[in-house]
Amino acid sequence: MTTEVKPSTRERLLEAAATLTYRDGVGIGIDALCKAAGVSKRSLYQLFESKDELLATSLEERASAFVTGLLPPADDGRSPRERILHVFDQLEEQAGAPEFHGCRYLAAQIELKDQSHPASQVARRVKGNLTAFFRAEAEQGEASHPDLLARQLSMVFDGASARAGIEADKLTGLVTPTVATLLDAAGMH
């Protein structure tokens, strides 16, 4: 006999925040968040200082899944070029899902505008870590200008994610050749 573990109030709030803000944006109201989580406002404010803190915590708790879903395992034997292309292959695959709305971290930064907002700070750090991954791989692959290449790859990632998220474009056959061209131009191995 298995007993189902009921998610805690905190877990339900974090899941509601992740789901609703990804689908509807960070402007989602407290009432909608509480209703989706099946909790009272009082419960929310007992667990989180503010909606801002709830949003930041929700983004933080999804950061490892974001990384795991994109980055190859460390020391997987692939070349730096293949490791970078892996990220874009993953993005292309994720973008094909009907529930894909782009990168949640980019969306949070765009919607919030305020760089001092706790959720914006989490998003900036997560996106900065992706750029750092690109930079490290570019250095390993002896790219001519690793910092520039990392910034270019981040720009392609964000642009591709945003365009796929708003259904303005399909990434298949577009993003990987674009990235390959950048890697070739940088002399990546």
Instruction: Give residue 2's pLDDT.
Output: 59
User: What parts of the chain have a pLDDT lower than 70?
Assistant: 1-3
CB-based burial label for 59 (10 Å; 0-12, 13-18, 19+): buried
User: Half-sphere exposure (CA, 13 Å, Cβ side) for 5?
Assistant: 3
Helix (H, G, I), strand (E, B) or coil at 12: helix
Give CB contacts under 8 A, 24+ apart, made by 149-152.
149/182, 149/183, 149/186, 149/188, 152/182
142: left (phi over 0), alpha (psi -120 to 50) or beta: left
Tell me the CA end-to-end span of the chain in Å, nearest whole number: 54
Q: Over the stretch 53-93, which tens digit does the pLDDT of each residue have?
A: 999 999 999 999 999 999 999 889 999 999 999 999 999 99
What is the pLDDT, as a whole number, of residue 189? Answer: 72
pTM, whole model, 2 decimals? 0.90
The predicted structure's pLDDT at residue 75: 84
Domains in the chain, ordered, with CATH? 51-185 (1.10.357.10)
How far apart are the C-alpha atoms of 113 and 70, rounded to whole Å? 25
